[in-house]
A = this chain, B = another copy of it.
């Protein structure tokens, strides 16, 4: 991992953050941006989401963040050995101060970069096995459920539960029992002829790849229905897939005991469509 902090690139485990509320309380927000050939993809969308969340939750964010990223990214990529793919992490915290009550600060900002293995465009990522976990249960009324907050240990525990069960990833349900997303990705399921994804008001993160899939389908006259997905429906799904910035479209080969087509028709089609649209849009944005 290479790290940018206060205007310079740090070595691997060089200390890089004063103790702040991001560490002490998980009090902050983040974005994980896919980087290909040194280019941060859909950075405008990530920045818009981050600005929306920091503004909603009162977390400071430097006005010159885009400039900082433009300056830091090439140096972070070089420091990581110029890999073909990588993950840029933007971590924005509420700054320093003890106790729950925030004190006015400038906030904390760290940029970090990890190399990722190369992967072909326009194809789904390798399929994963998923399992539905019992906890944590998403509370649709909790405003934090819709923001990419640093407080993610419940998601870590969900992933650990899935790994212990022999799966690769956890699917989360709400306190009302409907299934909403993966532990770090949005969920789409194919039910009969319909592609369905849970709506944001179920406590779902407004994923950037999720939005790109909805747009790509709409542009081609194919409807993706945003509606609540009951656990029983998931058990009857013909196909299921996860979407995220780093993975793009990732088919699910199993959900619990049920085997699914992976990649199925929808996964292959969505992966192709969002890649085409990114090229049409003159990626990089």
Contact A100 B135 (CB under 8 A): no
Known contacts being A18-B16, A135-B139, A175-B139, is A1 close to B98, with CB within 8 Å? yes
A1 to B97, CA, bound (A): 9
Residues in B with CB closer than 8 Å to A142 are: 135-137, 154
Instruction: Give the docked Cα–Cα distance between A231 and B46 (Å).
Output: 41
Complex alpha-carbon distance, A17 and B30, angstroms: 18
Return chain B residues, CB-CB under 8 Å to A153: 25-28, 144, 149-151
Asked whether, in the complex, the Cβ of A184 is within 8 Å of the Cβ of B152, the reply is no
Contact A141 B135 (CB under 8 A): yes
Whether A91 sits at the interface, judged by CB under 8 Å, is yes
A44 interface contact, C-beta 8 A? no
Q: Is A65 an interface residue when CB atoms closer than 8 A count as contact?
A: no
A166 to nearest B CB, angstroms? 13
User: Which residues on the B side are within 8 Å of A99 (C-beta)?
Assistant: 184
- Would you call A98 and B114 a contact (CB within 8 A)? yes
A101–B182 Cα distance when bound, in Å, is 13
Cβ–Cβ < 8 Å partners of A160 in chain B:
58, 101-102
Residues of chain B contacted by A110 (CB below 8 angstroms):
19, 23
Where the two chains meet, the residues of A that have a C-beta atom closer than 8 Å to any C-beta of B are 1, 3, 5, 12-19, 21-28, 30, 57-58, 87, 89, 91, 93-94, 96, 98-102, 110, 112, 114, 134-137, 139, 141-144, 149-160, 163, 175, 183-184
